[in-house]
Amino acid sequence: MFGFGRTTTMVSPQDALPGRETPMAGLAPRHLVLDAPLDGPFPPGAQTLYLAMGCFWGAERIFWRVPGVISTAVGYTGGYTPNPTYEETCTGRTGHTEAVRVVYDPARVSAAELLKEFWENHDPTTANRQGNDVGTQYRSAIYWTTEEQRDAAFATRDAFQAELDRHGYGAISTELGPFAASDGDRGAGPFYLAEDYHQQYLQKNPGGYCNHGPNGLTCQIGLLRQDEVPAQTSVEPPA
């Protein structure tokens, strides 16, 4: 939340911090609210979507409250530095964005329904910023792991842009891309879990900082036919 570096210029791979080989230690094994594994294994058929919308504390709470979500975790993705710390990420020199890993049951909640929560609870028009939180680590992003999620990302983006246009607001700057590398696309992954005190932070600190809530606009879902889904024109994470 502190925006140490306040840089809005993406770091290059050669200038990124070196990081470390050791993954984050000392993490609680189970989700404090959902009583589910924090880092798996998850039930067969569960799907995973990675969402970034500013400081991950308030963002995570939005998704653990959604029926059908199995587990959530906060961490760092979309960058270069292996196993970064929070302090390193906040300098803007790791390339990561603060993100929430959402593991869900697709029989109970759809990707479009999760993305409705995403669009309606932050400002996707402010590149590298949410309120007073400034820096590339606060950029808005959607990273998919399935074709359904990909299609939902583009369809809901266009639906929400139409809503923004109707109210005289600006263009969406949200980064859209695949989580996994494929066909020459480096992908946004890996996802590095954040320190334990960040996990379910607002459950542990009910009066803690939260920069998320309804933005007053509605993202229409379920209205587009499959042949109306826009062509893939993703804004990919930096190569």
Catalytic residues: 55
**Whole-number Å distance between alpha carbons of 176 and 179:** 10
In contact, 187 and 177? CB cutoff 8 Å = yes
Edge-to-edge strands, sheet with 97-104: 175-178, 140-144, 47-53, 97-104, 69-77, 192-193
**Whole-number Å distance between alpha carbons of 228 and 111:** 17
In contact, 198 and 164? CB cutoff 8 Å = no
Paired strand residues for 108: none
Amino acid at 215: N
